[in-house]
């Protein structure tokens, strides 16, 4: 590449000298690197060809060696200039029909439980094992996903614009009257009494998730203003909820990172921070920088430790879960050939590889598993893939969650649909769509091949619903989020 570099630098030097001292014209003329590569690639390769031939047939051994190196630049440059095309990520008409049917069943969960009995707030989960149980609490993430699910249900035609307006309005009225700290919702509320649940804690990621959901919701509602002018009442309420929130108080200027949260009763920030790019907090961090709650150096401070598996390379997360990688992609667009894009592909590959030699579906994330606490509630924890994780995971445990597959729908739709069909075949489908998870861990399945966790969690159902909407409508929630002027202004971070 030396002749090419020499030619390029000499050309620039001669042009600059001529324009400055002789012609005095085109002093501000310039071309981008991409334009330069496209327009002059062949000409510069001919320079390497000529230099290579001269050196190959004249001079000493070192000259002939240089000639070979100069000639090798041509195929190398042609090969390296080829840009890998982004994969086609559209679903077929049959897949679309199946996916909409899944969404219709998931919608029943919100339709049945987001009622006046619970002040139009969605319960955290329901459990259908030996006894039916409703967890009468909710979180900011649950609420944000609930509101966006109302919007997506209108997109899919499950409800009309008037019903969407009524549902969102009732829920926003309740949310607007919940006790807050510096405008931030607390981590848990009792949905019957609307009181704060102990501990009185403000979660950075939950607050960020709620704000991101509100941002996409507001932009999406504007699309229906012509059908119902009262929609502007909702967007005004949403603006007030966003504007009252001091999200920046959770940011540590010393560390350039967000604390995981704040203990209100003890007036104390958590000692831990969200410090990795591949984290569910990525979305909250982007919102904070784009909205001015945190400086750009926060984004730069997020860790990007690399790992490789086969021909794939990407950044790792803490637990190696689908959730950490793909939850932010509900609203953040995927830019092809970026580090984040490569990391998402890396995650899908590693997740599939984890179960490749078995007849087990893929999709490992944080979820409930087949173990019970003293109150007979399913236990819950993060399950991950070791090649994706900084922490050590127990490779003897295998718990598969359908929402993990749903999150990958916009990125790997055909494999995702086949995986969901596999899950359905083993009995993972119920009244409200796919159950929470299936546990293949031998020590917990009482001699059976697997045990099904028959519960539905609001944030898992909500994420599945929105990801399906993104797959059906070509990233509709991402587009709405980025239609916000502040969010659009931060796109260069991605």
Token representation of residue 338: 């970026």
* pLDDT value at residue 33: 44
pLDDT means per 10 residues, the chain with 494 residues, are 57 68 64 48 56 63 61 58 58 96 98 98 93 95 98 98 98 98 98 98 98 98 97 98 97 98 98 97 97 97 94 94 98 95 97 94 97 93 94 87 98 97 98 98 93 98 98 97 97 94
Instruction: Report the relative pairing of strands 433-434 and 429-430 from DSSP bridges.
Output: antiparallel
What is the phi/psi pair of residue 95, to 5°?
-65, -40
Q: Are 73 and 4 in contact (CB under 8 A)?
A: yes
Select from 467, 427, 468 the least CA-distant residue to 128: 427
H, E, C per residue of 261-276: EEECCCCEECCCEECE
Q: Which residue in the block uniquely carries the two structure tokens 């092809």?
A: 336
* pLDDT value at residue 61: 63
Distance from chain centroid for Cα 264: 29
Q: Are 252 and 260 in contact (CB under 8 A)?
A: no
Nearest-angstrom CA–CA distance, 140 and 135: 15
Residue 40 CB-density burial (10 A; 0-12 exposed, 13-18 middle, 19+ buried): middle
Q: Cα–Cα distances in Å, from 246 out to 72, 204, 209, 390, 493?
A: 58, 11, 14, 31, 22
Q: Are 368 and 133 in contact (CB under 8 A)?
A: no
Give this prediction's pTM. 0.85
Nearest-angstrom CA–CA distance, 203 and 147: 19
* pLDDT value at residue 250: 98
Nearest-angstrom CA–CA distance, 480 and 332: 10
* pLDDT value at residue 258: 98
Select from 440, 355, 443, 447 the least CA-distant residue to 398: 440
Q: CB-based contacts of 23: which residues, under 8 Å, 6+ apart?
A: none
* pLDDT value at residue 227: 97
The number of residues in the chain equals 494
Token representation of residue 109: 């969960």
Nearest-angstrom CA–CA distance, 404 and 360: 14
Instruction: Report the relative pairing of strands 251-252 and 257-259 from DSSP bridges.
Output: antiparallel
Nearest-angstrom CA–CA distance, 277 and 258: 12
Q: Is the bond preceding residue 491 a cis peptide, omega within 30 degrees?
A: no
């Amino acid at each position: 590449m030396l002749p090419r570099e020499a030619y390029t630098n000499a050309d620039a030097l001669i042009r600059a000298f001529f324009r400055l001292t002789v012609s005095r014209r085109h002093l501000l003329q310039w071309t981008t690197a991409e334009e330069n590569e496209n327009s002059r690639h062949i000409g510069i390769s001919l320079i390497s060809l000529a230099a290579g031939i001269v050196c190959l047939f004249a001079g000493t051994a070192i000259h002939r060696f240089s000639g070979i190196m100069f000639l090798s630049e041509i195929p190398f440059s042609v090969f390296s200039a080829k840009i890998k095309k982004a994969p086609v990520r559209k679903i077929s008409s049959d897949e679309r029909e199946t996916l909409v049917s899944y969404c219709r069943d998931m919608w029943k969960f919100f339709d049945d439980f987001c009622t006046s009995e619970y002040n139009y707030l969605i319960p955290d989960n329901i459990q259908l094992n030996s006894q039916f149980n409703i967890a009468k609490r909710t979180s900011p993430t649950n609420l944000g996903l609930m509101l966006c699910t109302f919007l997506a249900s209108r997109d899919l035609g499950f409800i009309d614009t008037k019903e969407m307006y009524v549902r969102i309005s009732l829920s926003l009225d309740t949310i607007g009257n919940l006790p807050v700290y510096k405008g931030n919702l607390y981590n848990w509320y009792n949905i019957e009494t609307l009181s704060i649940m102990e501990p009185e804690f403000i979660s950075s990621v939950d607050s960020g998730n709620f704000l991101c959901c509100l941002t996409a919701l507001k932009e999406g509602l504007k699309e229906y203003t012509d059908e119902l002018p009262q929609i502007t009442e909702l967007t005004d309420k949403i603006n007030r909820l966003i504007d009252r929130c001091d999200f920046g108080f959770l940011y540590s200027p010393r560390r350039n990172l967000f604390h995981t949260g704040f203990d209100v009763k003890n007036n104390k920030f958590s000692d831990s921070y969200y410090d990795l790019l591949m984290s569910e907090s990525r979305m909250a961090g982007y919102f904070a920088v784009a909205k001015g709650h945190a400086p750009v150096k926060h984004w730069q401070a997020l860790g990007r430790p690399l790992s490789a598996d086969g021909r794939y390379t990407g950044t790792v997360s803490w637990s190696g879960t689908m959730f950490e990688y793909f939850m932010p992609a509900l609203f953040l667009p995927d830019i092809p050939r970026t580090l984040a894009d490569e990391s998402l592909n890396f995650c899908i590959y590693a997740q599939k590889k984890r179960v490749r030699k078995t007849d087990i579906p893929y999709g490992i994330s944080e979820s409930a598993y087949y173990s019970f606490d003293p109150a007979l509630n399913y236990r819950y924890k993060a399950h991950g893939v070791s090649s994706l994780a900084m922490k050590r995971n127990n490779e003897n445990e295998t718990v598969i969650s359908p929402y993990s597959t749903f999150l990958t729908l916009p990125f790997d739709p055909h494999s995702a649909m086949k995986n969901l069909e596999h899950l359905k075949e083993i009995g993972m489908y119920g009244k409200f769509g796919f159950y929470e998870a299936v546990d293949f861990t031998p020590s917990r399945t009482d001699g059976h091949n697997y045990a099904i966790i028959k519960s539905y969690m609001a944030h898992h159902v909500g994420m599945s619903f929105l990801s399906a909407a993104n797959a059906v409508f070509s990233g509709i929630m991402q587009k709405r989020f980025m239609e916000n002027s502040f969010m659009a202004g931060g796109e260069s971070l991605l």
